[in-house]
A and B are shown apart, each in its own frame.
Chain A
Amino acid sequence: MSQPNEIERYTASQRSNHWMVAILFILAALSGLALFHPALFWLSNLFGGGAWTRILHPFLGVAMFLFFLILALRFWKHNHLTKNDRKWLGQIGDVIAGNDDKLPPVGRYNAGQKLLFWVMILCMLALLVTGVMFWRPWFAASFSIDLVRLAALIHAFAAWVLIAGIMVHIYAAFWVKGTMRGMLTGKVGRAWARHHHPEWYQEVTEEKRS
């Protein structure tokens, strides 16, 4: 099925799921940023103007949340933090410097990826709940004005954390060559897997043999 030097990392369904979330994230982020700061209001032109941006943003957000929920449930089991993960995070300097030989062995995901996973879950939940609370014209009127104000503040904060996290996510995928290919084609190189995710590589190859 696959080339001898390739291992399957993501199925077509998982990849599609990921890219649905990614596309919806870009749209939700751009429309949200348009309302976040006056300097970015021009982004509302991408959505047909300010009113359209206001109308579309919550729907994009809810759609993103739903696709993310499926993705999160699929990858939940791969993202439990282990002792080695804590060690990995403690050596974040070596991670950034690319001193991979000094780092503890990594499984299917490294501690950075796992941390991002949990941060994204928290952010998505916060964005959904607070977003509904000031969604006009439908839901905002059902909450007290002080709650609505707080919701808007938390929404902006959670969105900031999410966007910042995704910026790091995108750069890391670009930095580690072969990663982007994994999410686009589903296949990663054998050496890539052995080097970046040795414990996962072992699991996968042993499964094949048995």
Chain B
Amino acid sequence: MTMLDIQRRSATTTEAPQVRHLPKIAKLIDVSTCIGCKACQVACMEWNDLRDEVGKNVGVYDNPADLSDQSWTLMRFSETEQNGKLEWLIRKDGCMHCADPGCLKACPSPGAIIQYSNGIVDFQQDQCIGCGYCIQGCPFNIPRISKKDNKAYKCSLCSDRVAVGQAPACVKTCPTGAIHFGTKEDMQDYAEERITDLKARGYQNAGLYDPQGVGGTHVMYVLQHADQPELYANLPANPKIAATVSLWKGITKPLGLAGFGLIALGAFFHFIKRGRKEVHEDEDDQLAIVRQSGSNGRDA
């Protein structure tokens, strides 16, 4: 897994290595050609050696009902009526691999979350402390903490496969070719073709989902209704790291530390200037005198 260069590391304030340039990669999910077969879910489980518990049918096609430590990707099914026609929208949910990852920003454990120079955001479970700050940081509600080991898990974009020049397992297995993998540039170009085609077929608002609020993502969607991403199982229209998280993890931290430093210095130099305040316990109480050493002291 370390065959890729790391360009960002959680809870690390100094520069990460950034001399070498790897091409940015991306996974493109073409929602318009997805048939909801869940082969990607199976491939993900198989490659990553995961096996979720068999759940209960909750009356919808989503199976399992939600992402979990064992289910890193999930088809989410939504029904909507557009232009008088029923549409069944199927979105493969999972980590979006943000260029500006909220999870990495929030994580307090050095190196528990890393971003490879090709754009993949990966969790290092051996460094994970189980605090769940990544959940607070994520604008897409992706990381899940395992009940078994209290460590956070999510899609790794098959960083182990990508490191050796292979496409992620879900891409490899998709029977309709709805999932593509390559350089981000190539994926954007391919998405353009798909969007042109979709527009020609009457989807006037077809477009690419590559939200800039998180610096763009390394998992992108081609959406038939890119003007309403919420239709797709509440895909956020303008995802951003929450203001509370930015404030919590931003300027307040160095300012807070500086504040402690100033108080400590202030106290120390107050002592240097004033000395300690001492009342002498003279035999005669009435004659007790206050003494202060230092420049302003009122030595008796």
Interface residues of A (CB under 8 A from B): 5, 34-41, 44, 49-51, 53-55, 96-98, 100, 134, 136-137, 140, 145-146, 148-150, 152-153, 156-157, 160, 163-164, 167-168, 171, 174-178, 189-192, 194-196
Bound-state CA distance A137–B282 (Å) is: 60
B271 located at the interface, meaning its Cβ lies under 8 Å from any Cβ of chain A in the complex? yes
Bound-state CA distance A49–B261 (Å) is: 25
Q: Are the CB atoms of A37 and B132 closer together than 8 Å?
A: no
Q: Are the CB atoms of B290 and A167 closer together than 8 Å?
A: no
Residues of B within 8 A of A171 (CB): 267, 270-271
What number of residue pairs across chains A and B have CB atoms under 8 A from each other? 139
Q: Are the CB atoms of A149 and B263 closer together than 8 Å?
A: no
Which of A134, A168, A176 sits near B263, CB closer than 8 Å? A168
Bound-state CA distance A140–B12 (Å) is: 25
CB interface residues, B 104-157, toward A, < 8 Å: 108-110, 112, 127-133, 135-136, 141, 145, 147, 150
Known: A96-B270, A137-B130, A194-B288. A38 touches B110 (CB 8 A): yes
Known: A36-B253, A145-B135, A164-B259. A177 touches B279 (CB 8 A): yes
Known: A38-B108, A156-B248, A164-B260. A5 touches B281 (CB 8 A): yes
Bound-state CA distance A137–B135 (Å) is: 12
Q: Are the CB atoms of A146 and B242 closer together than 8 Å?
A: yes
Q: Are the CB atoms of A156 and B256 closer together than 8 Å?
A: yes
Q: Are the CB atoms of B263 and A164 closer together than 8 Å?
A: yes
Residues of A within 8 A of B290 (CB): 100, 195
Residues of B within 8 A of A35 (CB): 108, 131
Residues of B within 8 A of A192 (CB): 279, 281
Which of A50, A146, A174, A189 sits near B129, CB closer than 8 Å? A50
Give min CB distance, B252 to chain A, whole Å.
7
Could you list 16 further interchain pairs (A-B, Cβ under 8 angstroms) beyond the known A97-B296, A152-B133?
A: A38-B13, A38-B108, A40-B257, A41-B108, A53-B129, A54-B129, A98-B277, A98-B292, A145-B136, A152-B248, A160-B256, A160-B259, A163-B260, A175-B271, A195-B288, A195-B290
Known: A39-B13, A41-B11, A41-B110. A98 touches B244 (CB 8 A): no
Interface residues of B (CB under 8 A from A): 11-13, 108-110, 112, 127-133, 135-136, 141, 145, 147, 150, 242, 244-245, 247-248, 252-254, 256-257, 259-260, 263-264, 267, 270-271, 274, 276-282, 285, 288, 290, 292, 296
Residues of B within 8 A of A100 (CB): 277, 290
Q: Are the CB atoms of B277 and A177 closer together than 8 Å?
A: yes
Residues of A within 8 A of B244 (CB): 146, 149-150, 152-153
Q: Are the CB atoms of A148 and B136 closer together than 8 Å?
A: yes
Residues of A within 8 A of B247 (CB): 153
- The contact sample of 8 A-B pairs, CB cut-off 8 A, is A38-B12, A44-B129, A164-B260, A167-B263, A190-B288, A191-B279, A191-B280, A191-B282
Closest 3 CB pairs of A and B: A191-B288, A50-B129, A171-B267
Known: A98-B274, A156-B248, A191-B282. A137 touches B136 (CB 8 A): no
Give min CB distance, A138 to chain B, whole Å.
11
Give min CB distance, A81 to chain B, whole Å.
23
Bound-state CA distance A156–B251 (Å) is: 13
Residues of A within 8 A of B133 (CB): 152
* Chain A: CB-nearest residue to B127: A50
Residues of B within 8 A of A167 (CB): 260, 263-264, 267
Give min CB distance, B36 to chain A, whole Å.
27
Q: Are the CB atoms of A136 and B256 closer together than 8 Å?
A: no
Residues of B within 8 A of A41 (CB): 11, 108-110
